[in-house]
Amino acid sequence: MADRSLRGMRLGGQSLQSEEGVVFSPRMTHTYLCSTCGKETEMVFSADAEAPDTWECKFDSNEAILMIGSDVVVLDRAEAKVPRSHWDMLLERRTRAELEDLLQERLDYLRARRGQQKIGA
């Protein structure tokens, strides 16, 4: 067999690779302060990654805010854009009176068409 015997090894139990020659990517630890419980949550991110302004508190699952030094980051809570419904977009193109006229025309057409169909055909 090979130089190294695999007898007695558990599947997935140990890696046969060593960490020799492996260069780990640089990392940074960011601290988040929970506004509800007041506890700090530390998260490790890659040094290249931009840390999010908020993170879930690991103690009570509420929103924790990023701290830079000993100060909490000020969040810009711009109002979320309210999604427009189909009705809103329709009202941007036509007036309510025009819509009522179109509805009446369509209903008249459908009623006339229904009357022209043969019963039992």
Domain boundaries, the chain: 27-72, 83-116
pTM over 0.85: no
Residue type, 60: D
Q: Rounded mean pLDDT of 95-114?
A: 93
- 28-56 pLDDT tens trace: 999 999 988 888 889 999 999 898 888 89
Tell me: pLDDT of 17 over 90. no
Instruction: Determine contact, residues 53/36, Cβ cutoff 8 Å.
Output: no
pLDDT for 117: 62
d(CA 29, CA 100): 61
How long a stretch of residues is the chain? 121
The closest of 81, 104, 100, 80 to 90, measured between CA atoms, is 100
Architecture of domain 27-72 in this structure: Single Sheet (2.20)
Phi first, then psi, for residue 34 (nearest 5°) are: -80, 130
